[in-house]
């Protein structure tokens, strides 16, 4: 089957098919069709920088605006893509190419989820005017989109506090110390695990806030999201009866959203508070050191 376009552009919705482009599509018997899917990033969303990102599906290369080269999950090695899905946070432009010839190019997409069955392509160009969380997948058949929809894998990431920088002050009984920890790869996450190391064994309560404004006496302005108790005094462990105390809390499902703007390099912030809920109070400095590892999965 031969498709030809010439003269005036053919417009369908927000897709413009460029003129003077011809390609042949060979029909493959249904029993020989194998759907292959390649995606970027491998899981979750990635912060895509401002500028032009080029995805070469044939080789699996992803060329970021600064020239850094990353990779899709698999190279499609000569196979053409026929469907794709894109998930993002801010406006983007999308171009699809076959052997460097433009098959179509979109106007700005203001929506946050694109699905297309498209003319065969092997290169995608994404243009962004600001950093955006981003996920893209392409399939080699027109029926590949359902596979893409259900096939976004789960990424597991960890964000950690630093014992020398965070929660270094004295905390009295019932008092709280706040910290804002940048480095989240998504603003919507599910917290699944918290590990704590502490020099002093007592009942700590870890609070989660969705903004750097933290607590507020105005209930409408308060940014409280959740809290968990970390009972190091009762359930914590020491190695050899000496040194710091350890406690692990797992199988959690805390849905968290950072409502502040991302940092200049495109990351989001985890807003925390540490309270002493039982015990004599946490010491300042090295005697009262606390360190937290918080494991999470990005939510699309």
CATH code at position 194: 2.60.120
In whole angstroms, how far apart are CA 146 and each of 63, 83, 136, 142, 182?
A: 27, 10, 14, 10, 35
- The pLDDT value given to residue 148: 46
Residue at a domain's end among 101, 133, 150: 150
Please tell me the distance from the alpha carbon of residue 7 to that of residue 173, in angstroms, as a whole number.
77
List, run by run, the mean pLDDT of 10-residue segments along the chain (300 residues). 38 42 46 74 82 95 94 90 86 87 72 76 91 88 56 72 97 97 87 96 97 94 95 96 95 90 84 96 97 87
Q: Does one domain contain both 110 and 214?
A: no
- The pLDDT value given to residue 196: 98
Smallest CA-to-CA distance from 159 within 42, 1, 294 is with: 294
Q: Does one domain contain both 125 and 181?
A: no
Q: What is the number of domains present in the chain? A: 2
Q: Does one domain contain both 144 and 164?
A: no
Residue at a domain's end among 84, 117, 150: 150
Q: Does one domain contain both 90 and 22?
A: yes
Q: Does one domain contain both 203 and 278?
A: yes
For residue 83, the enclosing domain spans 2-150
pTM of this prediction? Answer: 0.57
Q: Does one domain contain both 137 and 16?
A: yes
Q: Does one domain contain both 251 and 142?
A: no
């Amino acid at each position: 089957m031969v498709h030809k376009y010439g003269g005036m552009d053919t417009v369908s919705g927000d897709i413009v098919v460029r003129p003077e482009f011809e390609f042949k599509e060979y029909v493959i018997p249904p029993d020989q069709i194998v759907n292959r899917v390649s995606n970027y990033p491998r899981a979750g969303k990635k912060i895509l920088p401002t500028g032009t990102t080029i995805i070469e599906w044939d080789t699996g290369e992803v060329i970021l605006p600064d020239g850094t080269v990353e990779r899709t999950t698999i190279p499609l090695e000569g196979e053409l893509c026929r469907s794709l899905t894109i998930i993002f946070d801010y406006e983007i432009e999308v171009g699809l190419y076959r052997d460097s010839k433009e098959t179509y190019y979109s106007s700005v997409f203001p929506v946050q989820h694109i699905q297309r069955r498209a003319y065969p392509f092997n290169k995608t160009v994404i243009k962004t005017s600001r950093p955006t969380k981003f996920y893209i997948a392409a399939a080699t058949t027109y029926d590949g989109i359902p596979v893409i929809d259900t096939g976004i894998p789960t990424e597991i990431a960890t964000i950690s506090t630093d014992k020398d920088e965070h929660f270094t002050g004295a905390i009295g009984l019932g008092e709280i110390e706040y910290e804002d920890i940048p480095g989240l790869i998504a603003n919507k996450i599910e917290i699944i695990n918290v590990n704590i190391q502490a020099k002093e064994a007592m009942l700590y309560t870890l609070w989660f806030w969705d903004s750097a404004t933290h607590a507020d006496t105005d209930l409408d302005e308060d940014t409280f999201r959740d809290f968990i108790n970390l009972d190091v005094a009762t359930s914590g462990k020491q190695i050899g009866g000496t040194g710091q105390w350890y406690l692990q809390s797992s199988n959690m499902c805390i849905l968290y959203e950072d409502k502040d703007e991302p940092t200049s390099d495109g990351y989001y912030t985890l807003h925390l508070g540490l309270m002493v809920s039982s015990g004599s109070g946490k010491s300042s400095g090295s005697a009262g050191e606390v360190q937290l590892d918080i494991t999470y999965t990005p939510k699309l």
